[in-house]
A and B are shown apart, each in its own frame.
Chain A
Amino acid sequence: MTAAMSPDPEVTPPEASTVAPEVAPSTSGATGPLAVGGLLLAVGAVLLWRAVAAGVDSGITLGGPTLAPIVVTGLWVAVALWYLLEAVRKRAVATGQPAAVAWRTPVLLLAALIGYAIVLKYTVVGYVLSTAVFVLISARLLSTRPVRAVIVRDLVTAVGLSLGIYLVFTRLLGIVLPAGVLPL
């Protein structure tokens, strides 16, 4: 699971760098599915191994808790293998390359999200300030227009959204959010 969920750029399919001029509208390329299939198979195998190990430890019975993990991870391995075989078969007849995908923005956005969550929990910055900063960063990352054109709009949204949520949640709903350094 850890492997499947990590945003490891190494497992990112290589379409981002190799964009052919003749772009097909499909989003799955030729080598991407192969990498995905391989990864799925590897993760499935690790999980299956863990499930079987747990079953051997405490015994496998029809009504016991160790059977379902083995069945599900076994199914995972089988489906991943099937997917991989289809990918290999399609690769042989693949013609087009997928559309241009820029992975830089989502990776930066994810980093901003993780930073936001950690600042929220483990520092004294507080909800309003960290949310306002996150809104500014995220809005910038998601925008394709120049900063000058949108900065006022973004600032107003950042302050309004963070302050609004904080006040509604803490004052009206009794849900605690970290107050932090601001005197709220």
Chain B
Amino acid sequence: MLKRSLAVALPAVLLLATGCANQSVGDSPAPSGAGAVAYPTKTLQIMAPAGAGGGWDTTARSMQKVLQDAGLLNGQSAEVRNVTGAAGTIGLAELVTSHQKDPHQLMVTGLVMVGGVVTNKSPVDLSKTTPIATLTAESEVIVVRSDSKYTTLKQLVDDVKANPTAVKWGGGSAGGTDQILVGLLAKTAGADAKTVAKQYVAYSGGGETKAALLSGDVSVAVSGTSEFADLVQSGKLRALAVSSPKGEDAGAGTPAPSIKESGYDLDLLNWRGVVAPPGLSAGDRAAVLKLVDDLHKSAQWKQELTAKKWQDFYKTGDEAAAFYQAESTRIKTVLTEIGLG
């Protein structure tokens, strides 16, 4: 699935990249060439396009910390600023309109923003930025109460296929990663995706979702794997499947199967990455790419990944650009199909 859309997206991205390069040669001839040595030359601004405390904010602050601790900033410092609102699309719009060609402005992004662009009908999307890299990912988990009749994902999906309204799903905000996963699963399994997605009840945060699952309001819940790990471990919930390509431990001590292993050709990760403003010169882009590459290679970053329980999910440069493009296409398609686009 992923590879297929990647193949479709790659030519488009290459076109885009060459377009960028041409434009930048014309616009700013001075620092061209790949030998960008002195970077950053002033304070590096990392924008977290959401409020303090969330995943993007944590990612931005981890980056800031590692860049400084590992001494990668050429004697400069890094600042994190928060621009909240509308699944990050307000920050995205600011990056694209106010900071063109500025290599000292980076923004954290992720799957949620890809969805937010679609659901909020944002005029600006990630293709307007200069993609730098993806950094981390977290898997999703599908759980039921331990007294549920479902013990495998297949039983659940078979029921849903037979009667799309039979199962009520709970998870995070409308159009977010959790609902996208439900829509993709229904679509991949050949169920009526639009009707299934309508049975999805949005809750604000994992605590509310847990309460709804335990009280019996919903029969299935979808969330980030770490969110439910404690209840899976205590035996109150059963993990039916995780959304990563391979099965992983969702709290029970033994690996839960992946959706793919359960027979549905689908994986979905809640990834996070970095983008730069549009119009970067080739030299600037190379310099930013090198900085993020050094960040990723550092021992301090490995420690952050372990501490925050993030999976290492590194794609850089053209590979990252192609991935952004592929995810945008896939998410837009499914959100439109389930009526949120």
Interface residues of chain A, those whose CB is within 8 Å of chain B, are: 174, 176
Contact = CB atoms under 8 A, between A and B. Distances in A.
A107 to B, nearest CB: 30
Contacts of A174: 61, 80
Nearest to B79: A176
B48 to A, nearest CB: 11
Interface string B68-97: 000000000001110000000000000000
Contacts of A176: 79-81
A176 B80 CA distance: 7
A174 B61 CA distance: 10
5 contacts: A174-B61, A174-B80, A176-B79, A176-B80, A176-B81
Contacts of B81: 176
Contacts of B80: 174, 176
A176 B79 CA distance: 7
A176 B64 CA distance: 13
B58 to A, nearest CB: 13
Interface residues of B, number: 4
A interface majority secondary structure = loop
A151 B297 CA distance: 57
A120 B79 CA distance: 18
Contacts, number: 5
A25 to B, nearest CB: 44
A183 B180 CA distance: 48
A168 to B, nearest CB: 16
A174 B57 CA distance: 12
Interface in B86-126: none
A174 B81 CA distance: 9
Contacts of B61: 174
Closest 4 CB pairs of A and B: A176-B81, A176-B79, A176-B80, A174-B80
Nearest to A170: B79
Nearest to B64: A174
B171 to A, nearest CB: 18
Interface in B165-216: none
A44 B79 CA distance: 44
Nearest to B45: A176
B84 to A, nearest CB: 13
B79 to A, nearest CB: 5
Nearest to A178: B81
Nearest to A179: B43
A94 B46 CA distance: 61
A174 B80 CA distance: 8
A100 to B, nearest CB: 42
A163 B162 CA distance: 67
B168 to A, nearest CB: 13
A176 B60 CA distance: 13
A144 to B, nearest CB: 39
A43 to B, nearest CB: 25
A174 B58 CA distance: 13
A175 to B, nearest CB: 8
A176 B46 CA distance: 11
B56 to A, nearest CB: 15
A94 to B, nearest CB: 46
Nearest to B47: A176
Nearest to A177: B81
A174 B82 CA distance: 11
Nearest to A65: B174
A176 B61 CA distance: 12
A82 B61 CA distance: 53
Contacts of B79: 176
A86 B81 CA distance: 50
A183 to B, nearest CB: 14
A124 to B, nearest CB: 14
A174 B64 CA distance: 11
A176 B82 CA distance: 9
Nearest to A174: B80
B307 to A, nearest CB: 18
B151 to A, nearest CB: 32
Nearest to B46: A176
B341 to A, nearest CB: 14
A174 B79 CA distance: 8
B193 to A, nearest CB: 20
A174 B46 CA distance: 13
A171 to B, nearest CB: 12
A174 B68 CA distance: 14
